[in-house]
Amino acid sequence: MEGKETVSKEQAVGEVRNMAFQFADLYYAFVKILRERYGDDEAFDLAQRALYLRASERAQKMIVRAEKEGVPRTPENINKMSDVSYLGWDPSFGTETCPYGAAWNRRIKDDPEFRKYASLYCDVTDTTIAEIFTGSYSHKLHRNVVLGDDSCERTYFPSEKVEKGEITFDPDRE
């Protein structure tokens, strides 16, 4: 058997963060092109629809994994079942703990209109995953680094609407 190759935790964190920076910049590029091509209102709607689609796909995969592993579908288990490599969310980076937030805040300095799209990503993704994964809880961000806060803070709360299958950002609801 060949020798085992290892990397330091610092290098692994750096690699995960670099991957997240690339993703964050790709999201920015898509949003920028949507805004240029379709205007702000249509771009916002299209971004929200795409984010909802992807978040709902991710939540369904999380449900399958949770059921397979016998993990309850509770807010406390969302991160355990997530496909995000939280290794890159290193608290030693302070207000830049979240690599997406760090990358998007750099973009926001040059393009302040992007702020609402960065916030939209967090809100649609996290709320949709919480609602679909749990089937009974919703989610609210109270603080967000892309809105100028020094940290991100959220709560999960029971929701009768979610229990009825009403998902907050579902573009087909109503």
Q: What is the CATH number of the domain that holds 54?
A: 3.30.1380
Q: Is residue 28 part of a domain?
A: yes
Residue 155 counted as domain residue? yes
Domain count of the fold of the chain: 1
Residue 20 lies in a domain: yes
- Residue 1: pLDDT over 60: no
Residue 169 lies in a domain: no
Give domain status of residue 55, yes or no.
yes
The predicted-structure confidence for 46-79, as pLDDT tens digits, reads as follows: 999 999 999 999 999 999 999 999 999 999 999 9
The answer to the question of residue 171 being in a domain is no
Residue 35 pLDDT grade (very low, low, confident, very high; cuts 50, 70, 90): very high
Please indicate, yes or no, if residue 116 is contained in any of the structural domains.
Answer: yes
Once rounded to an integer, what is the mean pLDDT over residues 111-116?
97
In the block, tokens 């990358």 appear at: 103
The pLDDT confidence band at residue 4, using thresholds 50, 70 and 90, is confident
Arithmetic mean of pLDDT, 24-37: 98
Q: Please tell me the pTM assigned to this model.
A: 0.93
The whole-angstrom separation of Cα 118 and Cα 100 is 9
Q: What is the mean pLDDT of residues 110-123?
A: 97
CB of 16 closer than 8 Å to CB of 88? yes
Q: How far is CA 59 from CA 30, 54, 102, 139, in A?
A: 23, 9, 25, 14
Residue 52 lies in a domain: yes
| pLDDT in the model for residue 12 | 95
Mean pLDDT, the chain, rounded, equals 95
List, in order, residues 6 or more apart from 65 with CB less than 8 Å away: 71, 81
Domain region containing 124? 9-163
